[in-house]
């Protein structure tokens, strides 16, 4: 894919069109397991990782590192307003020490998607720098989901695609205590209350304030570490006009025309 993009970019007769997709890939923690129920441990693992470098290596120039669970293009997302993630190995070591955690062994689960396996491999190496021994477990999709449901995992790579342009979607789907796809098993009263309040509030300043507070709260809680917002990418001839790629990749050619 990377080489294909490069060839398009270098071809004077072609144009590369990019549009952010409404998707987020993340590394989630099973918060029912010790020591991942300790916020200091989750913060330590987050601080240990150079997420920008991992994303660049695994996704090879496609997409970006998210700043929120709510992607750009959805109302009230703070995705592009959050300062970039910064790796701080010494902070990570200090947090583990404060939590009384040493010689930690953990599993990082992934399905067979290459970018996620590559990300897990780099995470494994970076966690070793703070004394965490991570084993990567790659599973077939059905076995992967069954294991997540049964809470057998420590941490896992997964993605979420938002089908409805409302900030409730990804947050409720992944973190509401009653959600069937809440594989971090987050059970947080404030998240549930703010989601309920947000769903009942019309678009406007009050709604924006609710979802801004909620996203900032989740970022601090760190049930997951955000790794990737995907892009819809299309290459066209320069003579093709009026084509705009859609985030859903269900493209419309209604307004497309050719220019001599």
State the pLDDT at residue 61. 82
State the pLDDT at residue 163. 80
* Residue 15: pLDDT over 80: no
Residue spans per domain, the chain: 14-163+224-258
CATH 1.10.3720.10, applies to 14-163+224-258: no
Measured in whole angstroms, the distance separating CA 247 from the mean position of its chain's CA atoms is: 16
State the pLDDT at residue 249. 62
What are the percentages of helix, strand and coil residues in the chain, rounded to 5? Answer: 40, 20, 45
The model's confidence at residue 214, banded by pLDDT at 50, 70 and 90, is very high
Residue pLDDT, tens place only, 103-136: 999 999 999 999 999 999 999 999 999 999 999 9
Residue pLDDT, tens place only, 145-158: 999 999 999 999 99
Query: How many whole angstroms separate alpha carbon 244 and alpha carbon 84?
Result: 28
* Residue 201: pLDDT over 90: yes
Residue 92 to residues 1, 85, 168, 224, 227: CA-CA distances in angstroms?
34, 13, 31, 16, 18
Residues in the chain: 260
The model's confidence at residue 255, banded by pLDDT at 50, 70 and 90, is confident
Strand segments (E) across the chain = 14-20, 23-29, 105-110, 133-138, 155-161, 224-228, 231-237, 240-241, 257-258
- What is the reported pTM? 0.86
State the pLDDT at residue 236. 75
Higher per-residue confidence, 249 vs 221: 221
């Amino acid at each position: 894919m990377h080489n294909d993009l490069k060839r398009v970019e270098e071809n004077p007769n072609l144009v590369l069109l990019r549009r952010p997709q409404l998707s987020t890939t993340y590394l989630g923690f099973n918060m029912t397991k010790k020591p991942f129920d300790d916020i200091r441990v989750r913060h330590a693992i987050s601080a240990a990782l150079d997420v920008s470098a991992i994303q660049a290596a695994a996704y090879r120039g496609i997409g970006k590192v998210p700043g929120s669970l709510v992607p750009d293009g959805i109302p009230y997302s703070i995705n592009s307003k959050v300062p970039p993630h910064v790796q701080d190995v010494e902070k990570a070591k200090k947090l583990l020490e404060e939590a009384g955690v040493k010689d930690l062994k953990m599993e990082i689960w992934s399905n067979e998607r290459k970018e996620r396996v590559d990300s897990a491999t780099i995470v494994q190496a970076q966690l070793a720098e703070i004394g965490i021994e991570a084993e990567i477990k790659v599973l077939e999709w059905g076995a992967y989901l069954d294991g997540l449901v049964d809470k057998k995992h420590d941490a896992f790579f997964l993605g979420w695609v938002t089908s409805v342009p409302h900030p409730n979607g990804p947050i409720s789907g992944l973190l509401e205590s009653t959600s069937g796809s809440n594989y971090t098993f987050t059970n947080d009263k404030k998240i549930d209350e703010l989601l309920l309040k947000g769903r009942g509030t019309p678009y406007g300043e009050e709604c924006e304030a609710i979802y801004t507070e909620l996203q900032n709260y989740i970022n601090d809680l760190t049930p997951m570490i955000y790794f990737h917002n995907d892009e819809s990418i299309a290459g066209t001839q320069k003579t093709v006009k009026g084509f705009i790629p859609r985030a859903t990749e269900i493209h419309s050619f209604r307004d497309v025309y050719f220019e001599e």
